[in-house]
Amino acid sequence: MALKIWLNGSMQQIDTNLHKPVIFLNGTKYKLDKAYTFINGEKKILWGESGVQIDYISSTGSLGGGYVFAIGENWVDAYRSSVIYRINISNLSNPTLIQNVTWGNVRDFNGYQTTAGTMMFDTERYSSGNATSNKLQVSTTDGSIVVGGNGTYTGTYLMFTDNNLVTRTARTYYIQQTGQSRTFGTNFYWNGVLKYSTGRTPTSATDVSGDLYLNGSALQVGQDSIIFNLTGNYGSGSGLYLGTDSSYNRVANGIGGTKVYDDDAILNDGSNRVSLLDKTSYAELAYYEANIGDVLKCLGRIGNYYYVLTMPSNLTATSGVKLILLNKSDLSVAFTRDLPSDPFNEYEGKITFWLNIVYTMQISQTGFLGVSTYNTSTLGLRIARFSGIF
């Protein structure tokens, strides 16, 4: 049942899933997520909707960005081509640009540095052979952004801890017989200073006994400490390493996928599996696995639930996209919903939109998570926004 009011001489419906009615008790504002009445002894909902509210937001030709990395009730923050775009979505059918600034492309969400009211994201921007990384402090109230730190470097961005910008370069071996190079190790720089190098220079083209190189990205787990995977045979061999600005040590078997630092655990995401890791031993505490042949995309967490999308890996599929909410404690399934295969009616019913989405896995403090695609030719921005469960 919809909530309606009499306004300007006509009855108008209020979208209570997005713009919820409020009351004031002792000077404090409270949102009314749902309202009920009883008819003949049976409880009926007046407004609100159980489950997760999903909004499909579209704009073509008017916005320059991009890929959503943070989203709230009335705003979106996105990035593309090293530009950060702030977008007003108070009118879901007519998004408008608030601001665009050249702060770089978002690399990751930093759960360790995120605090109440502010979510932290790191960026990187390449220009004329130089690179810059910025810490973006995003207000969960309105999406406004403050740069909380920055640094320039050569090499490749790895992580921006509280006090150190960590970057890397590859150690490579040139094979004269083939005229090619291969990576055998990695140099780690903290604030531009080389602190340690992994691996040993090969003695021949077939010598891999000295290999030990970075495999994937890194995750901040302490004020100035990170974890990362190394692959190879040298020293302690393949595994998960804990690194500081002075040393690195193997702490566990290797773990793959994108990782997020959470309150109680580390969230680890693979192609069809998501798991929780203990923050001290890095042992696996729980996992959820998609069906064989399906793709799993973990968007992050809202409240007590991790949000996961599963779908067939086949671009020609016309069904099978699901939203699954997993309990924070043990990754058991708490809620499932089938999603429309082609929500913007652009792919002849195929699941192409979902397979192509870009997102930044995160622990949301806004009550929303978002995914998006962007067409650079048409400037077509397509967003799916998921609310907290109610």
Distance CA 196, CA 344 (A): 50
Cβ contacts of 246 within 8 Å, gap of 6 or more = 195
3-state class (DSSP) for residue 349: coil
Position 361 scores a pLDDT of 97
Tell me the chain's radius of gyration from C-alpha atoms.
24
| Ordered DSSP codes for 278-296 | -TTT--EEEEEEPPTTEEE
From first to last of its 390 residues, the chain has per-residue pLDDT tens of 445 565 666 545 555 544 556 676 666 555 555 555 555 444 344 455 568 999 999 999 989 889 999 999 999 999 999 999 999 999 999 999 999 999 999 999 999 999 999 999 999 998 777 899 999 999 999 999 999 999 999 899 999 999 999 999 999 999 887 888 999 999 999 999 999 999 999 999 899 999 999 999 999 999 999 999 999 999 999 999 999 999 999 999 998 887 999 988 999 988 899 999 999 999 999 999 999 999 999 999 999 999 999 999 999 999 999 999 999 999 999 999 999 999 999 999 999 999 999 999 999 999 999 999 999 999 999 999 999 998
| C-beta of residue 95 within 8 angstroms of C-beta of residue 76 | yes
How far lies 147's CA from each of 97, 102, 309, 340, in Å? 20, 12, 32, 38
Reduce the secondary structure of 303-318 to three states and give it as a string: CCEEEEEEEECCCCCC
Distance CA 44, CA 47 (A): 9
Position 200 scores a pLDDT of 97
Checking 302-307 for CB contacts under 8 A at 24+ apart, the result is: 302/364, 302/367, 302/368, 302/369, 302/386, 302/387, 302/388, 302/389, 303/328, 303/367, 303/388, 303/389, 304/328, 304/329, 305/334, 305/335, 305/388, 305/389, 306/267, 306/274, 306/331, 307/369, 307/386
Structure tokens belonging to residue 259: 């990782």
- Give the closest residue to 290 by CA, choosing from 271, 266, 315, 267: 271
Place of tokens 């004020």: 223
Domain locations in the chain? 3-47, 57-98+262-390
Phi, psi of 101 (to 5 degrees): -135, 145
Position 14 scores a pLDDT of 58
Position 114 scores a pLDDT of 97
Structure tokens belonging to residue 145: 């952004």
Alpha helices in the chain (DSSP H): 352-356
**pTM of the entire predicted model:** 0.86
Position 41 scores a pLDDT of 46
3-state class (DSSP) for residue 390: coil
